[in-house]
Amino acid sequence: MGKGGEVSGDGAKVEGENMAAWLVAVNTLKIQPFRLPPLGPHDVRVRMKAVGICGSDVHHLKTMRCAHFVVKAPMVLGHECAGVIEEVGSEVKSLVVGDRVALEPGISCGHCKYCKGGRYNLCRSMRFFGSPPVNGSLANQVVHPANLCFRLPENVSLEEGAMCEPLSVGIHACRRANVGPETNVLIMGAGPIGLVTMLAARAFGAPRIIMVDVDSYRLSVAKSLGADGFVKVSTNNQDVDEEVIQIQQAMGNDIDVSFDCAGFSKTVSTALNATRAGGKVCLVGMGCNEMTVPLTPAAAREVDVIGIFRYKDTWPLCLEFLRTGKIDVKPLITHRFGFSQEELVEAFEVSARGGDAIKVMFNL
Amino acid sequence: MGKGGEGSGDGAKVEEENMAAWLVSVNTLKIQPFRLPSLGPYDVRVRMKAVGICGSDVHYLKTLRCAHFVVKEPMVIGHECAGVIEEVGSEVKSLVVGDRVALEPGISCWRCKNCKGGRYNLCPDMKFFATPPVHGSLANQVVHPADLCFKLPENVSLEEGAMCEPLSVGIHACRRANVGSETNVLIMGAGPIGLVTMLAARAFGAPRIIIVDVDGYRLSVAKSLGADDVVKVSTNNQDVDEDVVQIQKAMGSDVDVSFDCAGFSKTMSTALNATCAGGKVCLVGMGHNEMTVPLTPAAAREVDVVGIFRYKDTWPLCIEFLRSGKIDVKPLITHRFGFSQEEVVEAFEVSARGGDAIKVMFNL
């Protein structure tokens, strides 16, 4: 199992005792003790400082599941995190006590064909913070493999370190879709994932980026973060053809790569139709299970559909982009909370509400 | 326009007058005169010897359209062809009178970004035999650019030359899907396209190929042509999950690449679900416009969907495979007809019937 244990005893807080935010039942979060495992020779113990809330965390809270992952026992939430090293295992040479690090959540097996083939994000034995049955990292401390902890440059804050996780999704998507200085990019959905994808696309050199959403406020945020243009659309399937025209007009040029960061039949259909022959449509994040889409006309123009699952080998690049300022994630952090029972509950409510809440961050 | 003219006068056959099979209205084919253009310096005049019927030819006959291509005036049908050079243009150095050649149907513009970018099959100004408004090649003679006529080796017949066209679809699909000695292949649909894709996959080194169809006879043909195993399925959408289990059992190993050569929601859904994480599903040929498919679960396993439109730069490889015997297309030619009014009508009826008719070939 993951690096973390069950609740100890009656939940009373002992001084120095490690506490965590447990999902105990639908819509029920409780800060309770979280017993850490002993430190392995290649592990480090990290005092958590910044932890962000992801849409999947909210989904687990509301439904006790996410895709085929089902929460069967109380589980610690959270996986977007950064902190300070407090103890290192006997074989750890790359990190020392006091180092500020961002954590990559998933521990892959290293033996299977996916790991050996360089696609460890697809490892079937992956143990990932906050994906049942593995406990997450919204806690005072966690124990984690040292090789998955990445030291932050001096000028990169712990909150930015925690942002590496969502940013990694955008980076991985841009790599798989081959975004570069010649690719005009369309992004469907200006939520947190659409926004980190936009930041990543710009960092990869995309010359022009158009954002699409139903929500004007989110589009204005996208514009302030550097979108070249935006198109406001409806939720009405009938409007796809008209919206494709508007989008192509806004781009003013062929659309080479589209990212669907919303996950609806309509957004995927729009992306498929708007993308030029020979281009790519990249499905990012969790969408509806079954979709009705014009797949054949797209395939008959050799528009390929690229799938994205989490990320692989992205932290070093994220940290470099943050260090140089090529990417600035700070504007995405809109709400901050401390680590107490009331604030925990309120933070998740704010995150679930959406609207003007992009990234909700805990400071521990 | 294409290389060819309208019917002349009352249709009475003049000695050496060039005749062709014209689609004059729905379900109506007439052999009528077909006036050739003058020979350009880079053109050749070819006496047609072998012309195959494609599903798209049948579709035009029955509906006067195929996807967004609409037949608005009488058009010569046919595009899978081979023949003998009878005249060469003044600048033609690569071919001489008497050469036996297979013809690549499509003339691209060589000025647009798709052509310059090496993806000329996506040229928006493509002039393709029997795609309206361009006349086809089911005729005594055609005029065609010399660079699209490929000399046949001694041991490759004219009928095999005509088969290069459908075979090219399979070759192009295997290239785009990266089929090789480590890719286990699943093929949905054992019609002509599924079969040429299977032959191509084997030639590319695929270690194991499973073919799926609803028709027992077609599966037995696939088996006789070298499929490692076959799975018979229903047309019932409810059976997808069970079909996937059977397919994976038949493969005995991960399905790395799937080709949907049938084009239904059910076949596409089956392929998406059966393919292993990180694999590819290739949509070949013309399917239904809108499909309802489990795109998200597939994308969340990084199963990519690769589109196929015709082919590019495939004739030399097809001819080499035929020369060396690595591919044998001869068993696919199940019915032969001569070039007369009655036989043209009958040939199309046989082809449209499907069943035991795989490739219907005209010998002129």
Nearest to B289 among A263, A289, A296 (CB): A296
Residues in chain B: 364
pLDDT in tens, A84-128: 999 999 999 999 999 999 999 999 999 999 999 999 999 999 999
The model's confidence at residue A288, banded by pLDDT at 50, 70 and 90, is: confident
CA distance, residue A80 to nearest chain B CA (Å):
19
Q: Mutate which of B296, B309, B312 to disrupt the A interface (most A C-beta within 10 Å)?
A: B296
Contact: B176, A286; criterion CB under 8 Å: no
Q: Taking the model in full, what pTM does it have?
A: 0.90
Share of chain A above pLDDT 70, in %: 96
Q: Say if residue A10's pLDDT is above 50.
A: no
DSSP for A246-258, please give it.
HHHHHH-S---EE
Nearest to A300 among B278, B286, B303 (CB): B286
Contact: B122, A305; criterion CB under 8 Å: no
Continuous H helices in A185-308: 192-203, 216-224, 240-251, 265-274, 295-299
Please tell me the predicted confidence (pLDDT) of residue A1. Answer: 43
CA distance, residue B4 to nearest chain A CA (Å):
27
User: CA-to-CA distance for A262 and B170, rounded, in angstroms?
Assistant: 34
Contact: A302, B303; criterion CB under 8 Å: no
pLDDT in tens, B79-115: 999 999 999 999 999 999 999 999 999 999 999 999 9
CA distance, residue A176 to nearest chain B CA (Å):
10
Nearest to B84, CA basis, from B51, B48, B40 = B48
Please tell me the predicted confidence (pLDDT) of residue A13. Answer: 46
Q: How many CB atoms lie within 10 A of CB A358?
A: 21
CA distance, residue A275 to nearest chain B CA (Å):
13
B237 touches chain A (CB under 8 A): no
Contact: B305, A305; criterion CB under 8 Å: yes
Contact: B300, A121; criterion CB under 8 Å: no
CA distance, residue A303 to nearest chain B CA (Å):
6
Q: Mutate which of B295, B304, B309 to disrupt the A interface (most A C-beta within 10 Å)?
A: B295
B238 touches chain A (CB under 8 A): no
Contact: A302, B119; criterion CB under 8 Å: yes
Please name the residue of chain B whose CA is at the shortest distance from the CA of residue A120. Answer: B278
Please name the residue of chain A whose CA is at the shortest distance from the CA of residue B67. Answer: A297
Task: Identify whether the C-beta of residue B335 lies closer than 8 Å to the C-beta of residue B347.
Answer: yes
pLDDT in tens, A205-251: 999 999 999 999 999 999 999 999 999 999 999 999 999 999 999 99
Nearest to A301 among B301, B305, B309 (CB): B309
Contact: B308, A299; criterion CB under 8 Å: yes
Q: In Å, how far from its chain's centre is CA A188?
A: 16
CA distance, residue B89 to nearest chain A CA (Å):
34
Which residues in chain A are contacts of B290 at CB distance < 8 A?
Answer: 292-296
The model's confidence at residue B289, banded by pLDDT at 50, 70 and 90, is: confident
Which residues in chain B are contacts of A302 at CB distance < 8 A?
Answer: 119, 121-122, 176, 306-309
B168 phi-psi bin (left φ>0, alpha ψ -120 to 50, beta other)? alpha
Contact: A287, B299; criterion CB under 8 Å: yes
The pair of structure tokens assigned to A101 is 């690090």
Which residues in chain B are contacts of A277 at CB distance < 8 A?
Answer: 114, 119, 122, 124, 309
In degrees to the nearest 10, what's the CA dihedral of A78, A83, A86, A88?
Answer: 80
Look at strands B80-88 and B100-103 and give their pairing.
antiparallel
Interface of A with B in 5-64 (CB under 8 A): none
Please name the residue of chain A whose CA is at the shortest distance from the CA of residue B310. Answer: A300
B166 touches chain A (CB under 8 A): no
Contact: B300, A307; criterion CB under 8 Å: yes
Contact: A307, B289; criterion CB under 8 Å: no
Contact: A283, B299; criterion CB under 8 Å: yes
Nearest to A304 among B278, B298, B306 (CB): B306
Which residues in chain A are contacts of B299 at CB distance < 8 A?
Answer: 283, 287, 305-309
pLDDT in tens, A77-91: 999 999 999 999 999
CA distance, residue B273 to nearest chain A CA (Å):
12
Half-sphere exposure of B185 (CA within 13 A, CB side): 35
Computed over every residue of chain B, the mean pLDDT equals 94
A170-174, B279-283, B294-298, range with the lowest pLDDT? B294-298
Interface of B with A in 291-330 (CB under 8 A): 291-309
A290 touches chain B (CB under 8 A): yes
CA distance, residue A341 to nearest chain B CA (Å):
34
Task: Identify whether the C-beta of residue B22 lies closer than 8 Å to the C-beta of residue B77.
Answer: yes
Query: Omega of the bond prior to A37 within 30 degrees of 0, cis?
Result: no
Q: Mutate which of A267, A268, A302, A304 to disrupt the B interface (most B C-beta within 10 Å)?
A: A302
Task: Identify whether the C-beta of residue B3 lies closer than 8 Å to the C-beta of residue B18.
Answer: no
Q: Where are the beta strands (DSSP E) in B36-160?
A: 43-52, 65-66, 69-70, 75-76, 80-88, 100-103, 106-107, 127-128, 141-145, 149-151
Interface of A with B in 67-86 (CB under 8 A): 67
pLDDT in tens, B182-214: 999 999 999 999 999 999 999 999 999 999 999
Angle at Cα B332 formed by Cα B234 and Cα B235, nearest 5°?
Answer: 10
Phi and psi, residue A99, nearest 5°: -65, 140
Please tell me the predicted confidence (pLDDT) of residue B288. Answer: 77
The model's confidence at residue A11, banded by pLDDT at 50, 70 and 90, is: very low
Q: Where are the beta strands (DSSP E) in A39-191?
A: 43-52, 65-66, 69-70, 75-76, 80-88, 100-103, 106-107, 127-128, 141-145, 149-151, 185-188
B241 touches chain A (CB under 8 A): no
Please tell me the predicted confidence (pLDDT) of residue B1. Answer: 46
Torsion A82-A85-A86-A87 (CA) sign: positive
Bridge partners of residue A363, in order along the sequence: A50
Contact: B119, A263; criterion CB under 8 Å: no
Please tell me the predicted confidence (pLDDT) of residue B181. Answer: 95
Higher pLDDT, A64 or B151: B151
| A159 to A87, A131, B212, B236: CA distances (angstroms) | 21, 22, 52, 52
Q: Say if residue A5's pLDDT is above 90.
A: no
Task: Identify whether the C-beta of residue B22 lies closer than 8 Å to the C-beta of residue B135.
Answer: no
Which residues in chain B are contacts of A117 at CB distance < 8 A?
Answer: 278
Nearest to A283 among B119, B290, B295 (CB): B295
Bridge partners of residue B350, in order along the sequence: none
User: CA-to-CA distance for B302 and A118, rounded, in angstroms?
Assistant: 13
Task: Identify whether the C-beta of residue B81 lies closer than 8 Å to the C-beta of residue B132.
Answer: no
